[in-house]
Chain A
Amino acid sequence: MLELKDVKKSYGWKRALDGVSLTVAPGEIVGLFGENGAGKTTLMKCALGLLGFGGKVTLDGEPVTRRNIARLSFATCEHSFFPNLPAESHRDFYRAHFPKWRDKRYTALTEFFDLPRHTAAGRLSTGQQNQLEVILALCQGADYILMDEPFAGNDVFNREDFYKVFLGILEPEEAVLISTHLIAEVENFISRAVLIRGGKILGDTRVSDLEDRGETLLGYVKSSYGYRPGRVADALDRLSGEEDGQK
């Protein structure tokens, strides 16, 4: 279990995370949704120990330290690879540093996506860079794979392939936490949806429960945000009302 308990993080006067509690269990694929600046990235970085924070983050009850950090992996749209090294060198690097590196998975994924193995990562296309970033996070041998907007810049076919391949290769015990804007697209892929807003958890539901209620994920998100579908029509009404008044 990856547990975040009352995690707080401030940047100066800005509260990026305001007491966030979240649990990810093995086998879950959790979608993390929220506007820019809502705290998705900060949440993940705190869980990974990349930021100082208040509150607790534990892995099976133990704090996240050097001893268990390898159980967490990270794929970010900012890319955490070495731009001068090709994919193959990254494989050597990961193999040397992470004892549970999944080499067969790496070979299968790089072959399936035709990823150039000997081109420096910095010189790959954006889509290929995303692929490399995600593949490395998937093959590290982690139990909890955290991905922060990993597909910014991949075309839709690429993304669909990725969802399918993920589902095919993930072991039952592996868990994924993925933040994305593509709500409708990942609805079938995830098993749980967590909404975050202004540094606080706004909603946390299993997709199965949404299905039982006959609610779509997009509908759930909209109602959680208090989104009124009529607001555009109302605004246009008011605008045309103003103009009529001036006539």
Chain B
Amino acid sequence: MVSFSDFPAEGEGPIYLRIVRFIRSGVASGRIADGDELPSRRVVSALLGVNPNTVQKAYRLLEEEGLMISRSGAKSFARVTPELREAAREKIQREELSALVSALRRGGMEKDAALALISRLWDEDASITEGEEE
């Protein structure tokens, strides 16, 4: 059964999107495997203190995204394939990057400067981790 105990108490945006992101990141990281059962809407509702309609909305989005399947009654199961996992990862990266891009643009940064900065920071970060490995 997929656990919600690590569900972040704080977060950005409406709660139903945070639930979707939580499952999506679970799929992307491999924490959620194919066929894992998701708790029922009612259980999640009580666990998180969130209206069942909201959970329903999140679950519906996950179904549309293909990450979830509802079978007989209230049981829902995760659907994970390599393609879906990759798609989930991409979606997460896209969201994080687009948030960053918006922030940088609002700060008045130019595209070339941003790309240059990212390239520098990437190399710095790579050399740090390489240093740790040595």
Contacts and interface: CB of A to CB of B under 8 A. Distances in A.
B49 A160 contact: yes
B45 A211 contact: no
A43 interface: no
Interface string A139-174: 000000000000000000000100111011100100
A168 B45 CA distance: 7
A178 to B, nearest CB: 12
B53 interface: yes
B16 A29 contact: no
A164 B57 contact: no
A20 to B, nearest CB: 24
A167 B49 contact: yes
A191 B51 contact: yes
Nearest to A29: B51
B70 interface: no
Contact of A208 (B42, B43, B48, B53): B53
Contacts of B45: 167-168
A49 B8 CA distance: 44
B85 to A, nearest CB: 27
Contacts of B17: 211
Contacts of A168: 42-43, 45-46
B47 A188 contact: no
A208 B57 contact: yes
Contacts of A189: 49-51
B6 to A, nearest CB: 17
B16 A164 contact: no
Interface string A16-33: 000000000000010000
Interface string A197-215: 0000000000110010010
How many of chain A's residues touch chain B, expressed as a range?
10 to 19
B46 A167 contact: yes
**Which of B14, B15, B17 has the largest count of A CB atoms less than 10 A from its CB?**
B14
A168 B40 CA distance: 11
B26 interface: no
A109 interface: no
A99 B57 CA distance: 36
A164 B51 contact: no
B14 A211 contact: yes
Contact of B49 (A164, A169, A172): A164
Interface in B1-24: 14-17
B52 A207 contact: no
Given A208-B57, A211-B14, A190 B51 contact: yes
Nearest to B13: A214
Interface string B47-64: 111111110010000000
Contacts of B43: 168
Nearest to B47: A164
Contact of A167 (B15, B16, B51): B51
16 contacts: A29-B51, A164-B47, A164-B48, A164-B49, A167-B42, A168-B46, A188-B48, A188-B49, A188-B50, A188-B54, A190-B51, A191-B51, A191-B53, A211-B16, A211-B54, A214-B14
Interface of A: 29, 160, 163-165, 167-169, 172, 188-191, 207-208, 211, 214
The 3 closest A-B pairs by CB, nearest first: A168-B46, A211-B14, A164-B49
